[in-house]
Every structure is written in structure tokens, then in C-alpha cells.
């Protein structure tokens, strides 16, 4: 039987790394993106080259209707989704008093309500099957707090609350819900920080380097695998010892 994963924000960065690693583990993948269609199609081609099925689907995760459509289209083109990875996210640096209402609401809509929208859309199938796996991508900043990233850090902390609550609520249906909290990972998201800040973050990372998308993909693939079948409600740090 084909196993299908939905990875949000899989056109680039960590999401792309997760989608490829899941394909290596035998998953077909729905590759979600918002803007970069060519990048998403390139992820799809790389998955197909690994011998798995894949489709690219545009949807803003903040738009519940668009997400519901994407999930039913993925079921029609591949098969119903049994693994959901909530990876799509936005970040930015700004002092707390300078964040506009619009910016604040957009962080909540994408980083937190986005996860609610996808989970709501995939749950009916998982509940019927009494099986499924949900993995939310949080952040070390959601565990620790982050100066000049209050909105981002709040949403990432909230994802941990969502993970633990749903793990309890969905356990009777054998649906596992876990979280991965990446450290500082070399992707486009880091570009705005500049080389000096990046070097400082490397210094603060005991393993002495930035993480790669693959570092996070391995943690996600583990939590999605049967080796993690007794693990739910957990936050797995993949962060080089940043928070010890
Ligand atoms: P990235 O390089 O900026 O990539 C973001 C991805 O999310 C892209 O695929 C983008 O699609 C997609 N996306 C953004 N907004 C979306 C929306 N509203 N709907 C659907 N897709 C959307 O980011 P990244 O560094 O890989 O981060 C991935 C996740 O890891 C995020 O949740 C981030 O908070 C978390 N994280 C990252 C780090 C880090 O150091 N990089 C650390 C901790 C946690 P398009 O290509 O179409 O724009």
C-alpha cells in the first residue's frame, strides 16, 4: 500500500530536505509551497528520481479553504495522507513595539493557524483509519524565547502546546503527534541575519556548526518511522546542543 506524506513548505530549505528523506524511506509526498513553483517542481522531480510518487501543490497554509482543497486533491492524485509535517513558516527580526497588527496576525496565521488548518484537513482520514502521524516543526526560539523575534517565538512555543494537547487527545485513535525543534539551520531563512550574527550563533552551538536541512530531516524521518511507534507528545531538539 502506498504511504503518503504532506510536507508544507517543501519547495526549499528544511521542508525540501524532509520531503527527500521521507521519499528515501518509501513515502510518496505532496510537496506544498506558496510562491516558488519551479523550486517545488524541482523537489518533485528529485523525489520521482528516488522512485516515489510526488505532486507539487500551491496553497497558503493560512487559508483553511485552500488547505482543505489541497488535501482532497492529494488524496485523489496520490492517496489519503497518513503523515503530516507542518514545516511551512515565516520569520523576521523586529523590536516588539514596531510589529504592526498586520505582521503580528500574519505570523499567527501562517505559523500557528497554518498547522491547525492542515491538521483539521487530514484528521478525518486518520481518525477513520485509527492511525496517523503528525510532526510539527517548532524551533529552539519557541523553547527559549528570542529577542526581537517575539511574534515568531510565540508561535513556535504555541506549536509545542498544540503538539502536547493533540498527542493526548488523539492517542486513543493511535495518532501520534510530535514536534522537532531545530537549532540554527543554514537555509534562506537565515539570510537576513548576516554573516556576523551567523558566526555568533555557530559559537553558541556546542557542536560548532550550523545545522543542515538533512539534520532536521533525519529527526523527522525517525519520528515518522515505526522505531518511534511508542513516542508521542515529545519535542525532539535537533540543535547541536544549543539548549542543554
Ligand atoms: P525557508 O527556507 O524560508 O523556507 C520556507 C518554506 O515555507 C518555503 O518552502 C516556502 O514556500 C514555505 N512557505 C512560507 N510561507 C508559506 C505559506 N503561508 N504557505 C505555504 N508555504 C509557505 O525556511 P526554513 O529555514 O526551511 O524553515 C522551515 C521551518 O523550520 C519553518 O517553520 C521555520 O520556522 C523552522 N525553523 C527554521 C530554522 C532555521 O534556522 N532555518 C530554525 C528553527 C526552525 P515558497 O518557496 O513557495 O516561498
**pLDDT mean across residues, the chain:** 98
Every domain of the chain and the residues it spans: 4-183+217-235
- Which ranges of the chain does DSSP label H, i.e. alpha helix? 13-24, 37-49, 64-77, 101-107, 114-129, 140-144, 150-170, 194-203, 213-224
The CATH superfamily of 4-183+217-235 is NAD(P)-binding Rossmann-like Domain (3.40.50.720)
Task: Report the predicted TM-score, pTM, of the whole model to 2 decimal places.
Answer: 0.99
Percent of the chain with pLDDT strictly greater than 70: 100
Ligand 1 closest atom vs CA 111: 32
Work out the average pLDDT over 235-240: 98
Q: For residue 1, what pLDDT is reported?
A: 78
Q: For residue 151, what pLDDT is reported?
A: 97
Give 111 Cα–ligand 1 centroid separation in angstroms: 9
Q: Is 152 a catalytic residue?
A: yes
Spatial distance between the Cα atoms of 96 and 206, rounded to a whole number of angstroms = 29
**CB of 33 shorter than 6 A to ligand 1:** yes
Ligand 1 closest atom vs CA 58: 20
- For residue 52, name the pLDDT band (cuts at 50, 70, 90): very high
The pLDDT tens digits of the residues spanning 110-169 come to 999 999 999 999 999 999 999 999 999 999 999 999 999 999 999 999 999 999 999 999
Work out the average pLDDT over 233-238: 98
Give 102 Cα–ligand 1 centroid separation in angstroms: 19
Work out the average pLDDT over 69-84: 98
Spatial distance between the Cα atoms of 238 and 170, rounded to a whole number of angstroms = 25
- pLDDT of 83 above 90: yes
- For residue 242, name the pLDDT band (cuts at 50, 70, 90): very high
The pLDDT tens digits of the residues spanning 172-223 come to 999 999 999 999 999 999 999 999 999 999 999 999 999 999 999 999 999 9
Amino acid at each position: 500500500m502506498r504511504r503518503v506524506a504532506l510536507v508544507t513548505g517543501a519547495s526549499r530549505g528544511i521542508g525540501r530536505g524532509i520531503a527527500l528523506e521521507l521519499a528515501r524511506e518509501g513515502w510518496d509526498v505532496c510537496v506544498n509551497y506558496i510562491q516558488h513553483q519551479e523550486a517545488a517542481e524541482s523537489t518533485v522531480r528529485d523525489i520521482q528520481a528516488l522512485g516515489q510518487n510526488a505532486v507539487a501543490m500551491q496553497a497558503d497554509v493560512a487559508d483553511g479553504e485552500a488547505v482543505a482543497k489541497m488535501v482532497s486533491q492529494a488524496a485523489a492524485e496520490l492517496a489519503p495522507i497518513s503523515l503530516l509535517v507542518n514545516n511551512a513558516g515565516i520569520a523576521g527580526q523586529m523590536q516588539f513595539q514596531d510589529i504592526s497588527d498586520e505582521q503580528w496576525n500574519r505570523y499567527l496565521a501562517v505559523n500557528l493557524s497554518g498547522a491547525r488548518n492542515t491538521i483539521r484537513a487530514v484528521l478525518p482520514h486518520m481518525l477513520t483509519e485509527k492511525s496517523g502521524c503528525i510532526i510539527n516543526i517548532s524551533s529552539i526560539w519557541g523553547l527559549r524565547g528570542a529577542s526581537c523575534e517575539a511574534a515568531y517565538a510565540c508561535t513556535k512555543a504555541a506549536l509545542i502546546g498544540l503538539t502536547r494537547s493533540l498527542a493526548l487527545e488523539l492517542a486513543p485513535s493511535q495518532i501520534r503527534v510530535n514536534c522537532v525543534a531545530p537549532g540554527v539551520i543554514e537555509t534562506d531563512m537565515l539570510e537576513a541575519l548576516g554573516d556576523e550574527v551567523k558566526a555568533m550563533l555557530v559559537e553558541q552551538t556546542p557542536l560548532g556548526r550550523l545545522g543542515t536541512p538533512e539534520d532536521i530531516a533525519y529527526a523527522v524521518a525517525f519520528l515518522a518511522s515505526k522505531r518511534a511507534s511508542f513516542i508521542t507528545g515529545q519535542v525532539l531538539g535537533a540543535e547541536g546542543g544549543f539548549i542543554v
